[in-house]
Structure formats: C-alpha cells, structure tokens
Amino acid sequence: MNRTLTLVRRRLLTALPVLLIVVCATFLLLEAAPGDAVDAYILSSGGGDAELIAKLRIEWGLDQSAVSRLGVYVWSLLHGDLGWSVLFGRPISSVILERLPTTLLLMTGAIALSFFLGTSLGIVAGARPGSIQDRLLSIGSLILYAIPGFWLGLVLAIIFAVHLRWLPSAGIESIASGKHGMARVLDIARHLVLPVVSLGMIYLALYIRMMRTGMAEAWRQDFVRGLRARGLPRAIIVRRIVRNALLPLVTMLGVQCAAMLGGSVVIESVFAVPGFGRLAHEAVSARDTPLLLGVILSSAVLVILVNLVVDAVYAWLDPRIGSTGASA
C-alpha cells in the first residue's frame, strides 16, 4: 500500500507542470479568439455606448497586460473559479458540475461494455490463434474499428428507434414522466443504451485486437512452452495466458479516457444527451470561448485523475511496478 502511495504522490508532482502548460495554452487560445468578455456581454445585453465599454474593460481588468491577466486567471482558477458563462448566465463551474455526472455515466457504461465484451471476445480469438473464430473476429473488429461512432449512432437510431421503436433516440430521460426510484433508473438506462453502444464499439474493437495480440504473443513465450511440455490441460494454459495478457489492458483504460471524452462530444450531440461533451458543442455554437476553455481544463483534470487511479490499480495488481524508486 505504501508503494502505491509513493507512486501516486510522484505522479501528482509530475501532473502539476502539465496542468500549468494546459492552463497557459488555453489562455493563449482565449487571447487569440476575436472579441473579449466585454464584447460578449455587450452583445448579449443588447448594446452599450463606448463609455460603458471602456468602463467595463477597466472594471474587469481587461486593460491590463496579458501577463498580469494570466496571473489573475491562474489565481481565480486556484479558487475553483472558471469564469462566467455568457450562454447560460451562470458561473462556468456550476454548469460543468451539473453536466459531468451524465457523461461519467455514459463513459462508465461504454468502458464497461467495451472492456468486458472486448476482452471476452479477444480471449475467444486468442485461445486458438489462426482458427476460424480468430479470423472472423479479427475481420469483424477491424471493420468495427473503422466505423465512426456518430454514424453508427445514427444507423442504430434508424433501426432501433425509428423502425423497431424499441428504444428512445434522444435525451437522457422521458420529459415530465414523473417517474421515481427504480422506474426512473430503468428509464435512464433505456435512454443510455444507444449512446453507450455507439461510444463503446470502437473501443470494443480495440480491446478485442489488443487481447488477441497479447495472447498470441504469450503462446510463444517460454513459460507457456514449459506448461505445454508438462502436458497441462489446454484450459489451464489459456487461463494463465489470459492473466498475463490482461494486465497491459488495464493501462489502456486510462489512455482511453481522453479519447472517450472527445468521442462523447459527437455522440452526445447525436442523441441530444445533456452532458459534458454536448456542452463543448454548445459552447462552440454560441461562441462562448471561456466556457469552452473551462470544458477543456476540466477534462484535462479529469484525465489526470483517471490516469492516477489506473496507475494505482496497476501498481496494486502488478508488484513489479514502483517497487524500486528508479522505475516509472
């Protein structure tokens, strides 16, 4: 446990400069955007004279140099203040906190689906490399890997929502259904089926391929040759191989987090899910740049946190990681 804590502390220390770079880069992007907060305010409040504009610029500190404004920006970020969203007329942090749980639910569902189904199918393929089921799964996963999630979502919506009418095609729950408790949970689950499948399929393909490759490599390793030479049943050998090939997949979970957050932008737009990803699209459509940067910053924090958890789990699973001060 002590070993895991040391690793987590070391990772947090390297995460700080990374976060600072992200903050500076997003600030640069904010500077590059045409117009500033005053322009956005004047536009949304229906105009104002030059005197008011000049007064607001001084009041909001926009007449200061870029360096001092970066200082103010970092200072307010340290206090958890991401700024004000013109689009929602609310603090950005409260909008983001409201939207985040939906997307986390969506991502958890997609990761669970792709990880468990993907590794299972990968085990089926990797148990006998070169067999018919291995070839079929390889071709299938390759095709799946080439399908853009948002298009898959649309096709699934045509089939399951328009023609078969089995599942709802938009939103996160039925509007004004008045459902409570278990009925509401089931309602949300039904709404999440299509988005989760559309978001998860590309990673399903990835996990099938990684698991299959890992197992195919393991068959050639000495310890497996040894087990086979000792005449152990195939089922037991496969189980040993699975355990070995599964470990690297855990680290992939952390890497996938960033990609999946990006993917949720399109998927949530397709299915009108009011989540964090759709917020990014709304910010772009409404040209609310501070909101967009808040979304980017909080997604970076989220990615760092998820990777930290994955690293800790990995260190706990594999005693070789972080046991000496030199590694990682």
Partner 1 sequence: MILNLVRTPEGFVGTILLGLLTVWALVAPWAYPGDPLSIAGPALLPPWTDWSLPLGTDRLGRNIAAGLMYGARTSMIVGLAAAGTAILLGLLVGVAAGFIGGVVDETLMRITDAFQTVPGFLLALAFVSVVGPSLPVVVLAIALGTWPPPARIARAEVLSLRERDFVAAARSIGMRPVEIAFREVLPNALPPVLALSSVIVAAAILIEAALSFLGLGDPNRVTWGGMISEGRTVLRTAPWLSIFPGIALVTAVLGVYLTGEGVVEAHARREMLL
Binding mask 268-297 for partner 1 (x = CB under 8 A): -x----------xx--xx-x-x--xx-xx-
- In angstroms, the CA 2 to CA 103 distance is 33
Contact (CB, 8 A) for 303 and 257:
yes
| Closest distance of CB 240 from partner 1, Å | 26
Q: Which stretch binds partner 1 (CB under 8 A): 48-56, 81-89, 147-155, 175-183?
A: 147-155
Q: Which stretch binds partner 1 (CB under 8 A): 3-11, 53-61, 145-153, 311-319?
A: 145-153
Q: Using N-to-C axis directions, what is the helix angle for 92-127 and 289-317, rounded to 10°?
A: 40
Q: In this complex, which beta carbon is closest to partner 1, that of residue 155 or of residue 236?
A: 155
Which residues contact residue 181 at a Cβ distance below 8 angstroms, ignoring those fewer than 6 apart? none
- In angstroms, the CA 199 to CA 107 distance is 8
Q: In this complex, which beta carbon is closest to partner 1, that of residue 17 or of residue 47?
A: 17
- In angstroms, the CA 167 to CA 160 distance is 6
249 contacts partner 1 (rule: CB under 8 A)? no
Size of residue set near partner 1 by CB under 8 A: 46
Please compute Rg for the chain using Cα positions. Answer: 24
Which residues contact residue 87 at a Cβ distance below 8 angstroms, ignoring those fewer than 6 apart? 282, 283, 286, 288, 291
84 has which bridge partners? 91
Q: Scanning residues 2 to 41, which ones bind partner 1 (CB under 8 A)?
A: 14, 17-19, 21-22, 25-26, 29, 32-33
Residues of this chain that bind partner 1 (CB under 8 A)? 14, 17-19, 21-22, 25-26, 29, 32-33, 142-143, 145-148, 150-151, 154-155, 157-158, 162, 258-259, 261-263, 265-266, 269, 280-281, 284-285, 287, 289, 292-293, 295-296, 299-300, 303-304
